[in-house]
């Protein structure tokens, strides 16, 4: 069985720059990734050429993926490359934040729907 080559999405091409601090830029990256993951296609996010990243950018670009895909789908089909070691900690935090946020949102929605059914 042959594994398809991943689609490589270069952040600097998506946001037209090397500084990742804007949530709107994070949204552009999220949009570039999500359809690949929803279609179970392999995708690699390249940080090559990126000079600076903040957590807020990663929360939108990567954390939001947990709202549209399962953790399993993301683990199987998503990777990053050329990320600076100091940014890996921010990435892990964004992943944890995304998992927690969307898990809690799912629980809150279920509780709300159950309470509406009781009315």
Q: What is the pLDDT along the chain (119 residues), one digit of tens a residue?
A: 346 799 999 999 999 999 999 999 999 999 999 999 999 999 999 999 999 999 999 999 999 999 999 999 999 999 999 999 999 999 999 999 999 988 876 665 555 555 555 54
Q: Is residue 55 part of a domain?
A: yes
Is there a domain that residue 106 lies in? yes
Residue 111 lies in a domain: yes
Q: Which residues share a beta bridge with 53? A: 20
- What's the total number of domains in the chain? 1
Residue 1 lies in a domain: no
Q: What is the extent of the structural domain holding 70?
A: 7-118
**Does the residue 2 lie in any domain?**
no
Residue 27 lies in a domain: yes
What's the pLDDT score for residue 104? 74
**Interatomic CA distance for residues 39 and 60, integer angstroms:** 20
Write the CA distances from 112 to 2, 83, 100, 105, 117, integer angstroms.
Answer: 45, 40, 18, 10, 9
Task: Give CA–CA dist 42/87, Å, rounded.
Answer: 22
Q: In this structure, are residues 20 and 11 in contact, taking their beta carbons and an 8 Å threshold?
A: yes
Does some domain include residue 93?
A: yes
pTM of the predicted model as reported, rounded to 2 decimal places = 0.84
């Amino acid at each position: 069985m042959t594994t398809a080559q991943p689609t490589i999405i270069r952040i600097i091409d998506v946001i037209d720059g090397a500084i990742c601090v804007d949530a709107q830029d994070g949204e552009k990256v999220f949009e570039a990734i999500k359809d690949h993951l929803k279609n179970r296609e392999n995708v690699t996010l390249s940080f090559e050429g990126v000079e600076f990243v903040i957590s807020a950018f990663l929360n939108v670009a990567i954390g939001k993926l947990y709202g549209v895909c399962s953790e399993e789908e993301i683990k199987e089909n998503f990777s990053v490359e050329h990320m600076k070691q100091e940014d890996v900690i921010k990435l892990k935090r964004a992943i944890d934040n995304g998992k927690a946020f969307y898990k809690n949102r799912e629980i809150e929605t279920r509780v709300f729907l159950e309470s509406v059914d009781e009315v």
